[in-house]
Each structure stands twice: as structure tokens, then as C-alpha cells.
Amino acid sequence: MDAPILIDGQTHFDADHARVVTNPAHHKEVVGRRAVGTGGYAHAAVEAATSAYERWSALSAAERAQMMLAAAVAIEAGNGDRARLLTREHGKPLSEAAHDVGGAPKILRYYAGLADRFDTPDVTEDDLGRIVRLLRPMGPTAVIAPWNAPVYLSYLMIAPALLAGNTVVIKPPSYTPLAVTDTLLELDRHLPSGVINVVPGSGPEVGAALVRHPSVRNIRFTGSTETGKQLMRDAADSVKNIGLELGGNDPAVILEGSTINDQLISEFVRGVYAGTGQICYNIKRIYVHRSMYEDFVDQFTEAVDQIVIGDGLSSDVTMGPLNNEAQFKFVDALVDRTRSSGATVATLGRRHDPTTWDDGWFIQPSVVTGLAQGAELVECEQFGPVIPIIPFNEESEAIALANQSEFGLAASVWDDDVDHAFDIARQIEAGTVFINVHRVGASDVSMEFGGFKQSGLGRGHGWVAVEENSELQVLAHRPGWVEATGHH
């Protein structure tokens, strides 16, 4: 599988300069190649998007939605093979990959279903006159996608932009470009040329060129906080609209009223270790009431020890490798430093195939106890399969600990008394606070999502994502006001 550049309906692929994409479960296995885009390609893609914008934005949202629905059908037909491809380039188990690639048709259909709402202006009439509020397309949109859930997260940014009448240039992730690019090529077949353009390449070259281009009016980014800050700086000169879904250090708070049972433990295992911990809103730190701390740690540790680590294509593997060497080195060193600090680090799980363990970026899941709030593992976004568990005495203490972070993406509160859990959740500084759940899938496409503090700007998912990709225009005819104020 090759991931080419796509500009104005035409693909470009220079095999002599392409970069290989390898399998994180088998370093030497080449899964495919990706084209190497440049600033020049980025500029050409923006020009194509700008040319296509007039025609695309002039269509009704209902007309755009029909094309999106046709694309959803075609993409869905090929998703079986794409799931296997994604597992090979990313490492995640096949079931997780199927959920990821399934996001493309699901999200396209959801936003297509909002077309009538977009096309229907809000009209207010009174004695003073008439006010019409309508949404207008914003313009060529740059989308910069992450490697951890490349298909699902790309379409969460692309689909509302398209419905709103914007054209798109996307920079797919360098580590996992293959499956998402394959869906984008299929999407392009159902849209006018130039509406969707794809330029793989490095962030400093391609990403920066897109963000700085004067014709780009809208930027959508999912990724690290540091990169998001740089994008804000790059976008400042031309005052572009920007939406950022950034890092998280997501706490889970288990209150005294919780029942520690198999269901709760299973939810926590999935909430921490899905995607090998490489998910922005995975549980990153656990706070447990002291009265049940030991019981939770014992049951959770026992359950984590049942995780099977290996090649995600194997049916009995429940956790794949880390995606890339840089992430492996970061997490591995973090665990070593945590162990050296005097904390108790339980290394758990079973290696599916010990003979090929060193062929991939495999790391066993860890459970860490004996850490204080200020410890590195508690303060950072580890983005890997290692979790600190910390006891608390009072609910006020748990709230303070949960909020003691520069991040505020997601959190969860656990209690058998759901109303009480809601009361506590309102005091947590996070864009989304789940009640008695916290894992992939809990944040549905219809449910608004975004972060407080340094976890981002704006909101995605749901209708609000369409608004965030639109300009609100107000048309006002106020003859009654003119007469009342004496100005003729």
C-alpha cells in the first residue's frame, strides 16, 4: 500500500523519495510507503482547495450531504481490509482497528444527517424588524491528524468541515498514513476535484506551510499541546480560526460509595490500556478512596496481569506494541525513572510470543503504587501502558488532586449513587467528565468533546463542530428601531 499526495483529484508519488512505513510489531516488516510532501506541494494543495471552494460552498448542505453519504457506503465496503492494514501500521489489536476505520462511514453519515439544520436559518421577527442568523462556510481548511487513531480522529475533523461547505487539505500522520489515506482516496472519488486534498510530510514543513498559507482560513488539529502552541503562533499573523484538541492527564476518581466488582475492574482495564495507553482521553491516573484502596489495587492488578501482549493480528492478543520507537523510548525511560524513585512498579501481562518480543516496540503493562501527587508519572501525559494509583481520604482532597494539572481534557467519577457522582463531576476541571465509565467509545460522535486549560481550544463532535467550522452571519432589517430612535 502506497500513500500518495492527492491534489485536485490527481495523485503524485515519487518512489525514489518515499518513506517506508513499518509494522511496530515486527520492525523489519515494511507495510507500505508514504509520499514525502513539501511546502511546495502544500501550497499547490491549498490553491486547489481555494479553486474548488467557490463551487463546493455554493452547494446546499443537503447536496454536499448526498455526496458524503455515497462516500460512506464506498468506504465501508473496504473497511475489512483497512482494519488489517491499520493493525499492521499502528499495532493495535484488530478489534480496535475495526472501530477506528469504522469511524469514517459512521462520522460521514452523522454529519450528513445535520444538513437540514445547516440549511435552515434562524429567523426572529418582532415589532422592530427581522433578524436572520445563518451559518456560512469558512474557507479552505487545514487538517493535521494524529497517529494514534488516524482514521477516526481525521474524520471527526474532516466531516463537519465538509458539511459546512469548506474544502480541506489534510496532512495525515507520518507513522500511520496508510489506512486513512486509502479512505481519503475513496472519499475524493465522490467529491468534486479539489474538495479534499492530501499532503503527507513533516509537521515543520508541510504542517507549517498549511497553517501559514494566507488562503487557509480554518485550522483543525489533534495532537500534542506543544505542537498546538506552535500552530497558534503560526496562525496568529493572519488571525485564522483554529480548533485544537490537545493532550490530557485524565483522572479517574473512585468514591467511597463505589462497589469494586468485576464490571468496574474490567472498565478500568479497558480505560487505561486500550490502544496501549496511546489515547488522549484514556485514564492516566487513578484516585481511590483509602477504605477500598488495597482491594482495588489487588483486583485491578490481577486483571491487568491477564493482558496478552503481541501482534494485534493474533486473535488472542489484547494489547499491541507501542506505535513507534520514540514513544517506546519515552515510556520505557519513564517507567525506569519511576522505579528508581522508590515507587512500586508491578510489571504484568503475558508475552504472546516471547521469541519475537524484541522484534517490536512491545512493553508490558505496569501498575504503580507508592507515588505522591507531584511525581513525574502523575504529572505528565505518559501515553503508554503504565498507571499510577493514589489513595485519598476526603472527597474535597480527591477533587483538588484531580484538578491539579495543566490539562483538562477528560475525567471520570465512579460511585453507585449516580446523582452524587454528578455533583462531584461538576467540580472537576475537564471538558468531559464521564460517570461510571471512561474508555474509547464513551465519547460518541454526537457528544461534544474538547478540553479545559492546556488541553485545547474549541469543541469537536456533535453539532457544535459544524458551528466551529462555520462563520455566523447576522442579517438585520430594523425599521422599527430606526423609527423608535428618531433616526431616518
Amino acid at 262: D
| Inter-CA distances, 80 with 83, 85, 147, 479, Å | 5, 9, 20, 60
DSSP 177-197: -HHHHHHHHHHHTTS-TTSEE
The grid cell for 115 is 444538513
| CA pair distance 305, 452, nearest whole angstrom | 34
Pairing of strands 2-3, 26-34: parallel
Helix (H) or strand (E) holding 198: strand 196-198
E strands in 203-289:
218-222, 241-245, 251-254, 285-289
| Inter-CA distances, 242 with 77, 161, 212, 344, 389, Å | 33, 12, 12, 42, 36
Nearest Cα to Cα of residue 381 among 291, 468, 456: 456
Identify the burial level of 233 via C-beta atoms within 10 angstroms of its C-beta, where 0-12 means exposed, 13-18 middle and 19 or more buried. exposed
| CA pair distance 118, 68, nearest whole angstrom | 15
φ/ψ (deg, to 5) at 370: 85, 15
* Residue with the three cell numbers 500511520: 176
Evaluate the CA torsion angle 390, 391, 395, 396 in order and state its sign: negative
DSSP 433-459: EEES--STTSS-TTS-B--EETTEES-
Active-site residues, by number, are 245, 280
Contact criterion met (CB below 8 Å) for 128 and 258: no
